[in-house]
Amino acid sequence: MKIIRSRRKTISLSLDREGNPVVRAPLFCSGRVIEEFIARHQGWIERRQAEFIPPKAYSQEELSCLRRAAKEKIPSRVSHFAPLVGVVPKGIKITSARTRYGSCSSKGNLCFSLFLMEKSERAVDYVVVHELCHLKRMDHSPAFYREIEKILPDYRERMKELKK
């Protein structure tokens, strides 16, 4: 098990790309506290490892194809939804991120993963609207999700599609 200490306030648990547990903890958190945290979450670790699917290996050609598709599709979806949300993003970037499909910076820039192109159009639209709504609210509060719901009343179903 990998333990990463950093300037943070809480302890978190995740799986790395190979399915191994990773604990992130505050710099001065004692080993005993970390061990207790791991013990309390042993069931979570076992469940996640049981359902873990290693990431697919892509050829350069496949990655190029996904990137090209993302560059064609995502900006047009952002252009479609931005006026409906009532925001204007500063820029759009396509990345090869594997841990998240989209992100939004405090400066108004949006990033989308090229791997989003493997999802349904409904799921793509959900991620686009989700990130656009972050330009209004930089949190995941109930008010944030109400903003999404104004544009996509079925956003919960779209979220499920995204996770498939």
| Res 28 pLDDT > 90 | yes
Average pLDDT, the chain: 94
Looking at the structure, tell me whether residues 46 and 119 fall in a common domain: no
Looking at the structure, tell me whether residues 97 and 142 fall in a common domain: yes
In a domain? residue 119? yes
Residues 6+ apart with CB under 8 A from 139: none
Looking at the structure, tell me whether residues 87 and 154 fall in a common domain: yes
Q: Measured between alpha carbons, how far is 164 from 161 in angstroms, rounded to an integer?
A: 5
pLDDT in tens, 63-107: 999 999 999 999 999 999 999 999 999 999 999 988 789 999 999
Give the number of domains in the chain. Answer: 2
- pLDDT value of residue 99: 77
- pLDDT value of residue 89: 97
In a domain? residue 108? yes
pTM of the model as a whole = 0.75
Looking at the structure, tell me whether residues 25 and 66 fall in a common domain: no
Q: Tell me the residue range of the domain where 33 lies.
A: 2-50
| Res 53 pLDDT > 80 | no
CA dihedral of residues 50, 42, 164, 153 (deg, nearest 10):
160
In a domain? residue 55? no
In a domain? residue 110? yes
Looking at the structure, tell me whether residues 26 and 64 fall in a common domain: no
